[in-house]
């Protein structure tokens, strides 16, 4: 039962991790330069980027920690 709940948390954290990585602003033009949008999603980019970095690292730690616990079958 606990491993099923942790599997759900692991799956949700994986989806949220993907979303948080996709929300980061690009460092270069890359493929985004083709669309030439140039508009930003956040008004204060610096604080939003720092907050997004913190969220991404937290989700990454949660995702990897749960991956280790679930793959090692420590919970039975």
- pLDDT tens-digit readout, 7-66: 999 999 999 999 999 998 777 655 555 455 555 555 576 888 899 999 999 999 999 999
Residue 25: predicted pLDDT:
79
Residue 29 lies in a domain: no
Residue 5 lies in a domain: yes
Beta carbons of 24 and 54 less than 8 angstroms apart: no
Residue 54 lies in a domain: yes
Residue 69 lies in a domain: yes
The Cα–Cα gap between 76 and 74 comes to 6
Residue 35 lies in a domain: no
Q: Burial, 55: exposed, middle or buried (Cβ in 10 Å; 0-12, 13-18, 19+)?
A: middle
Q: How many domains does the chain have?
A: 1
Q: Give the predicted TM-score (pTM) of the model.
A: 0.73
Residue 38 lies in a domain: no
Q: Which domain holds residue 70?
A: 1-21+45-76
Contacts of 56 (CB under 8 A, 6+ apart): 17, 20, 21, 24
Judged against a pLDDT cut of 70, whether residue 69 lies above it is answered with: yes
Residue 66 lies in a domain: yes
């Amino acid at each position: 039962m606990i491993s099923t709940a942790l599997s759900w948390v692991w799956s949700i954290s994986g989806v949220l991790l993907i979303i948080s990585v996709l929300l980061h602003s690009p460092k270069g033009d890359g493929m985004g330069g083709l669309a030439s949008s140039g508009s930003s999603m956040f008004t204060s980019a610096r604080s939003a980027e720092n907050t997004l970095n913190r969220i991404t690292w937290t989700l990454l730690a949660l995702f990897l920690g749960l991956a280790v616990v679930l793959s090692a079958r420590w919970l039975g």
